[in-house]
Amino acid sequence: MSETTRLGRVGVIGRFKPLHNGGALMLEAICENADQVVIGLGSSNKYNVRNPFTVEESAGMIQAHLSPRFSNYQLVPVPDFGHIPEFSDGKKWKEYVKEQFGFLDYFVSDNAYASELLKDTYKIIHPTALIPPEQHLKIRATEVRLKMARYENWQALVPEAVANYLETNGLVDRFRKEFGLQTIAAFLDANIYGKESYQEERDHTQEK
């Protein structure tokens, strides 16, 4: 992205459970290139093995990492509605995003399902368009959580400020007690490194 190019008002949605190095790099790139950034905290109404941190905790991780450098962003909770049968088509989620985010010059997403729902509302750009190829990272929060559950070096996969936030607030111990064994069982044979498909991303919105 050219230093003279500004993206205007930009939106992005992620679950950030936790915020890992790849997500942090994406948010930094957006904040650096945009005038205003609306960061949606996805699945804000869920607390389970795939969402073991609350929306307030996801916000705390982002603030811990971004606030020392940036002030041009706002955080907006974005709940899932797909687990409600009459809203399983994603239309209510789409309308909620449009209402909360308002006008955007661009929406940044690598989520195929979200992009499909929003493509007629916002101009979609992929995060890699903002990040030089040599800086691209392939990390999923699932990988971080699995390492956390196994007492492995999860800290290397998240920004230092995020690791400090998680440990200082006792969230690592809580996660292990509540979801550690379930995480290992759920993701032991899963592909935690590859990109999720459109159908997988849609299915996740319909989980209770």
Q: What pLDDT digit, counting tens, does each position of 88-123 carry?
A: 899 999 999 999 999 999 999 999 999 999 999 999
Q: What pTM was estimated for this model as a whole? A: 0.90
Cis before residue 79, ω within 30 degrees of 0? no
Q: Which residue has the tokens 């493509």?
A: 119
Give the chain's residues under pLDDT 70. Answer: 1-5, 189-208
pLDDT reported for residue 4: 44
